[in-house]
Amino acid sequence: MEKTEKIKKIVFTGGPCSGKTTGLSYVQEKLADYGFQAFVVPEVATDIIKSGFHLQKGISPENFQKSILMHILERENRWEETAKYFPNQKKVLLCDRGAMDGMAYIAPEIFIELVRDIGYGIVDLRDGRYDGGIIHLRTAALGAEKFYTLINNSARKETIEEARALDEKTLLAWNGHPKLRVIDNGTDFAGKMRRTLQTICRFLEIPVPLEIERKYLIRRMKPKDLPVAYQEIEIEQHYLKSDSEEEMRLRKRGQNEHFVYYLTSKRQSKPGVRIETERMISRKEFDILLKLKDPNFNPIIKKRYCFIWENQYFELDIIEREPMNFHLLEIELTEEQDSVKIPPFIKVLEDVTTKKDFSNYELARR
């Protein structure tokens, strides 16, 4: 009899020589200390190439990537089904690369069409499938060049310049995911591993899920003027009736008429730091819970523009629906003491992180 248990998937991705193999092993071992049983889903592309299926003359890159993508989906499904039969109540899948990585190797528009051909949408494949989060480990070719090597992976042949380009394309393939985190080479490798573990602990709410964010009111701008690649996301939020200080929120998030749905509860521990729990729900659950929305709150409908700058993942929210009319820039941090590098093309008017009036909760209040 098939189990119906849902197990979170966390993707480890990044450019060549980024530390994925070591990171997966390190995190798997450390999560055991927290009572989690972590199952590692091996990388498909490397297995296929090492098996003799090289991309050769006469074989289109599109067909090659389609085969890899279908193997990824099948392998992840089989690992998840097998993991459900293990008795541990705290389980997670750590995926060595994920379904979106293929976009780094062919034109994005061709990849999107390929995804449609096998019955998926990009939002389903990127956001809905990997509900645990995305860890992008920067290649050593970006900031740790003296450690760049391909000795530990015979399927890789990239030069430093090629590794940098591939790293960037891979990162952009995942741009738009609500839990994308970039782990750079700003510390030594041991520090890189600790930051990776710390980020995953937050994904899995270990020991408590702290949401540490900075929020800035910025000068109004046209998204098309952003000088970097971005993903435009549609967001609709509703607040539910609550008898406590806990904030209960329904969220619909997606693009191109494809959406995923979330139920979130938040409780502030101090200004700028909140304890948060969130789970993905079905469209049916969303519609049922929507009947419990608090009549004292307006829905928040906004466009979110996700982009990467200096290894930081920013979210530019544009709310242009009366009585709200704001442009807000947000970034989520790993540690409270982390500094934020504001992009030069953004003009900050005020840091409103601790300004209660700029919280979504207060903006929605009638």
Does one domain contain both 184 and 223?
no
Does one domain contain both 129 and 245?
no
DSSP string, 183-208: E-SSS-HHHHHHHHHHHHHHHTT-S-
> Of 147, 177, 203, which residue sits at a domain end?
203
Confidence of residue 1 (pLDDT cuts 50, 70, 90): very low
Across the range 289-306, mean pLDDT stands at 94
Does one domain contain both 162 and 54?
yes
Sequence-separated (6 or more) residues with CB below 8 Å from residue 113: none
Does one domain contain both 194 and 227?
no
Q: What's the CA gap between 83 and 257, in Å, rounded?
A: 32
Does one domain contain both 190 and 226?
no
pLDDT at 24 over 50: yes
In a domain, 209, yes or no: no
In a domain, 229, yes or no: yes
pLDDT tens readout for residues 158-198 = 899 999 999 999 999 999 999 999 999 999 999 999 999 99
Q: How many beta carbons lie within 10 A of that of residue 45, not counting itself?
A: 22
Give residue 13's Cα distance to chain centre: 11
Does one domain contain both 275 and 331?
yes
In a domain, 117, yes or no: yes
Does one domain contain both 169 and 33?
yes
Strand 258-270 versus strand 300-309 pairing type: unpaired
In a domain, 281, yes or no: yes
Across the range 14-35, mean pLDDT stands at 92
Does one domain contain both 27 and 136?
yes
Strand 324-333 versus strand 312-321 pairing type: antiparallel
* Between 131 and 149, the higher pLDDT residue: 131
Give residue 353's Cα distance to chain centre: 22
> Of 183, 203, 223, which residue sits at a domain end?
203
Does one domain contain both 54 and 193?
yes
- CA distances to 267, 283, 326, 331 from 352, in Å: 18, 33, 12, 12
pLDDT at 261 over 90: yes
In a domain, 3, yes or no: no
pLDDT at 228 over 90: yes
Order of strands across the sheet with 133-137? 37-41, 91-96, 8-14, 133-137, 180-183
- CA distances to 46, 255, 263, 321 from 294, in Å: 51, 26, 14, 19
In a domain, 2, yes or no: no
Structural domain count, the chain: 2
Does one domain contain both 156 and 243?
no
> Of 203, 230, 250, which residue sits at a domain end?
203
pLDDT tens readout for residues 112-128 = 999 999 999 999 999 99
CATH of the domain at 91: 3.40.50.300
Q: Which range of residues forms the domain containing residue 183?
A: 8-203
Q: What's the CA gap between 201 and 291, in Å, rounded?
A: 33
Q: Is 80 helix (H, G, I), strand (E, B) or coil?
A: helix
pLDDT at 366: 66
Q: Is 359 helix (H, G, I), strand (E, B) or coil?
A: coil
pLDDT at 141: 94
Does one domain contain both 99 and 243?
no
- In this structure, are residues 319 and 302 in contact, taking their beta carbons and an 8 Å threshold? yes
Does one domain contain both 185 and 259?
no
Percent of the chain with pLDDT over 90: 67
In a domain, 1, yes or no: no
In a domain, 111, yes or no: yes
CATH of the domain at 255: 2.40.320.10
